[in-house]
Structure 1
């Protein structure tokens, strides 16, 4: 169970983690079901999930974290090592997503030979992302709740509201929300909102 977020900024990051994790669980569900003999979904299902995974962290999520972490480092050095690890993981995660995309393309071209490497890439990325989010939620975000000042939280709230959603007010933002809804609706319950498998 994750520590309770005290401030709105850390709650937003928790909510974004939940949303990203839902997409990752959906992708992993379809991969595992296919491995167990279920009919594989159309590749556009995996493509939709991958589009979300590619765009979500880089355009919306990681900039919020990095700004919050920079501010936290100005207030305390207690989590400097963990922040350095998380920043390195942001870079490593980009490489893992490129590998995931590569393996999905191989799978699209040759379903039989390409499935196992794609499934392995999905499992590895899910495990990596889960550990990454756990480190943020268990160590760094509680430190932010503890050490940032009241004025810091006013500033963070302003950044979150005004500057940190590059998709806000654009057609892309609407498409991004629709993409998440599509993924949630095609993924069977209890992971998603679709009919149970």
Structure 2
């Protein structure tokens, strides 16, 4: 994507937009599971599956690899002031993968068992939301200010190229449009979200 913004402003904008999109999807997941089993018409679990696909694939295939390989790596080269935070965020990237697998299993249990499995699904969705919101807060409140302070213009140019590419890490093909379509399905597919 072409932009006229300076590289560091563009990187910050991309990270914040990705966080905004992930926040919206997680809030929709939370709202969706809160309404399950309330006696309304049966929920279309395809929407929940789409949300789960988004929170699994987008962070794992697009967002976290760019952070780990480019932003975090460059920041580690320039300073050790935030090493413990970067270590914690890297551990959280792994924990996030585990939580999303648990979410997949909890949704499958709900699909097969119905109401008895609903409390566990609701609890896990809320836990995932708290986890991910704290994760993003740590990035925005600690890592981004450190990056703005320590990274050079050359660092920002390299990071901007990586963050702007949004290619599939496996094939190199552009995937942003696929995630954009999935995101639109999620935010416009829920009742009351139009």
TM-score range, shorter chain: 0.7 to 0.9
1:149 aligns with 2:149: no
1:62 aligns with 2:64: yes
Q: CA deviation at 1:141?
A: 1.0
Q: CA deviation at 1:98?
A: 0.3
Asked if the contact 1:30–1:40 (Cα under 8 Å) also holds between the matched residues in 2, the reply is no
1:125 aligns with 2:128: yes
Where structure 1 has 5 or more consecutive residues not aligned to the other structure, the ranges are 1-5
Per the alignment, residue 113 of structure 1 pairs with 116
RMSD over aligned Cα, in angstroms? 1.9
Q: CA deviation at 1:142?
A: 1.1
Q: CA deviation at 1:156?
A: 1.4
Query: Using CA pairs below 8 Å that are at least 6 residues apart, which structure has the higher relative contact order?
Result: 2
For 1:13-32, list aligned pairs within 5 A: 13-32=15-34
Q: CA deviation at 1:186?
A: 1.7
1:186 aligns with 2:192: no
Q: Distance in 2 between matches of 1:12 and 1:174?
A: 15
Where structure 2 has 5 or more consecutive residues not aligned to the other structure, the ranges are 1-7
Q: CA deviation at 1:34?
A: 2.8
Q: CA deviation at 1:39?
A: 4.4
Asked if the contact 1:23–1:49 (Cα under 8 Å) also holds between the matched residues in 2, the reply is yes
For 1:37-76, list aligned pairs within 5 A: 38-66=40-68, 67-76=70-79
Q: Aligned pairs, how many?
A: 184
